[in-house]
Amino acid sequence: IPVDPFDLVIFGGTGDLARRKILPGLFRRFCSGQMPEEARITGAARSEMDDDAYRALVGEAIREFGGPRACDHGTLEAFLERVGYEQVDAMGEGGWSALKARMRPGCVRAFYFSVAPSLFGALAERLKGFGLADDDSRVVVEKPFGKDLASARALNLTLAQHFDETQIYRIDHYLGKETVQNLMAVRFGNVLFEPLWNAQFVDHIQITVAETVDVSGRGGYYDQSGAMRDMVQNHLMQLLCLIAMEPPARFEPDAVRDEKLKVIRALDPVDHHHIVRGQYAPDDNQPGYRAHVEDPRSRTESFVAMRCHISNWRWAGTPFYLRTGKMLRARTSEIAVVFKDAPHSIFGADAGRHRNVLAIRLQPNEGMTLDVTIKEPGPGGMRLVDVPLDMSFAEALGPEAEEVPDAYERLIMDVIRGNQTLFMRGDEVEAAWAWTDPIIEGWQTRGDVPKPYDAHSSGPEDALMLMHRDGRKWREIR
C-alpha cells in the first residue's frame, strides 16, 4: 500500500549513511510500489552541486547498495526523477529559502537529520525559523543520541524547543529489523510462550550481538564511545526491553514504549564484578584495537559482557546476560531464553541435564530454534538428547521472505505514516543513559583497563568465567 505523498529532506544527503542506507532503502520501497507518484526526496548538505550532480551521486550509491533492481536502468531513472538537491549550511542562512520553495502544500514533510548531533539544534531552529516545518512535520534523528544522560537531556530539550515529542523519530535501526518485531509477534501472538515467560520457568536469558569487523575507519568516533555507549545503551537495551516487557494493551506507540520504559527503570545498577570489558589484541596477522585508534594507550572497550537483573515481579532472580563486541569469531545476533530444568527427572541421573532453549536469531539467517528433549534413537535404553525445532523464516515463509524490507526502509516508511511504535521516546533514551552512566563512571574512577582478547575469538576469558561462576555457559558464537 503506497504511503501518502511526501517531501523528505535528508540533511547530510551526501554522507555515508545516506549513501549506504537511506537512499538505497528509499529506492527499494520505490521498486515495491510503496512510494507514491508525488513523493520527492531532497538531499541537503554543504557541498555545492546541482540536481543532476546529486542524482549522479545517488545513482552511484544505489547501484552499489540498492540490490538487484538497481541494474534496471528505467526503474533507477524513474526513481532519480524524484530526487533533488539544495546546498544548505546547517549553521548558516544560505539555501534555506530555496529549500522551502521545494516544499509542496498537502504533502507530509519529513526532515532526516543524517548529520552530527551537534547540528541538530541549528537545523531544528532554522527549519522553524524559515517556515519549512509545521506542526505536522516530522524530524528523524540518528544515533548517537547523546554520550551520557546530561548530553541526551540537552539534545531532547533542544529538539523540544521546536518540535513536539510526537514529531520526533529517534532511530534505533535494531527496532526496524524483521526478527525484532517478530519477537513481539512470537511473545504476544502465541499462547505457548507467555505463561512460561517469567522467573518461575526461565533460568536466564542471553543476548549476544557479535561482530567480526574491527573499528578501523571509524576509530576516531568509536574510541570516544566504546561498546557500552555504541551498542549496549541503545541496541542491546532495546532487545532487552522487548524480551522482558509486560504485554502492552495494544500494539500502539505509547502503549509499547511505556512498557519498555518500565523495564529500563526496573534494571538494577550493575555491580562491577558482573561486568567484563575487553579490547581486541594484536596478533601476527593483524593490528589490535589500539592501532586502529589515535590513542596508543586507549582504554576504550571493544567488547563488553555483563549480568544484569530486572527487579520486578516477573523477573526477580532471573539473570540477563548481555554480550557484544567487535572482531569476534562470527557475525551473529541472538537472544536465547534458557528455561529451567524439569522439576523432577523420571529417567534418573544418567539421563543428564536437559533444558529447553528458545533461541531467536536476528542475523544471519533470521529465525527461531526451540531445543526440545527427546529419546535418543536406538536400543540403548532411555537416553535423552536435545534436538532443535529449527525454523528459518526465509524457508518457512518462502519467496515472500526475500522481499522483507531492511530496517531503514521500514522505519522511513513508518515516519511517513506517522507511526512511532518502533522509535525511541525521549524518556526511554534518558532512562537508558541513567542506567549506563554509573557503569562508565565506575570504570573511569577505578581506572579500569579492558582485558585483551584474541581476534576471531569469543571475547576475553573473564567473560566466559562470568557465566561459569554461575554454573552457566554462553552459547557458542558461530
Site for ligand NAD contains 116 (CB under 6 A) = yes
Site for ligand NAD contains 293 (CB under 6 A) = no
- Report the catalytic residues: 235
Burial of 261 (0-12, 13-18, 19+ CB in 10 A): buried
Site for ligand NAD contains 147 (CB under 6 A) = no
Element (H, E) at 148: none
Nearest-approach distance from CB 459 to ligand NAD, in angstroms: 23
Nearest-approach distance from CB 13 to ligand NAD, in angstroms: 6
Per DSSP, what are the bridge partners of residue 190?
none
Choice from 2, 5, 17, 188 touching ligand NAD (CB under 6 A): 17
Say if CB 43 and CB 54 are below 8 A apart.
yes
Nearest-approach distance from CB 463 to ligand NAD, in angstroms: 26
Strands 451-453 and 83-87: unpaired
Stretch that binds ligand NAD, among 137-145, 182-190, 278-286, 356-364 (CB under 6 A): 137-145
> Cα Rg for the chain, rounded, in angstroms?
24
Strand order of the sheet with strand 332-339? 384-392, 367-375, 357-363, 332-339, 202-210, 319-325, 303-309, 275-280, 451-453
Choice from 7, 86, 142, 214 touching ligand NAD (CB under 6 A): 142
Choice from 29, 143, 257, 307 touching ligand NAD (CB under 6 A): 143
Stretch that binds ligand NAD, among 142-150, 238-246, 407-415, 444-452 (CB under 6 A): 142-150
In the complex, which residue's CB is closest to ligand NAD?
A: 15
Site for ligand NAD contains 219 (CB under 6 A) = no
Q: Which amino acid is at 218?
A: R
Determine the size of the site formed for ligand NAD (CB under 6 A): 23
Residue in the block written with cell 548517537: 144
Site for ligand NAD contains 46 (CB under 6 A) = yes
Site for ligand NAD contains 88 (CB under 6 A) = yes
Per DSSP, what are the bridge partners of residue 358?
337, 370
Site for ligand NAD contains 229 (CB under 6 A) = no
The Cα-based distances of 417 to 114, 363, 426 in angstroms read 20, 27, 20
Nearest alpha carbon to residue 317 among 213, 199, 432, 426? 199
Residues that bind ligand NAD (CB under 6 A): 11-18, 45-47, 88-91, 114-117, 119, 142-144
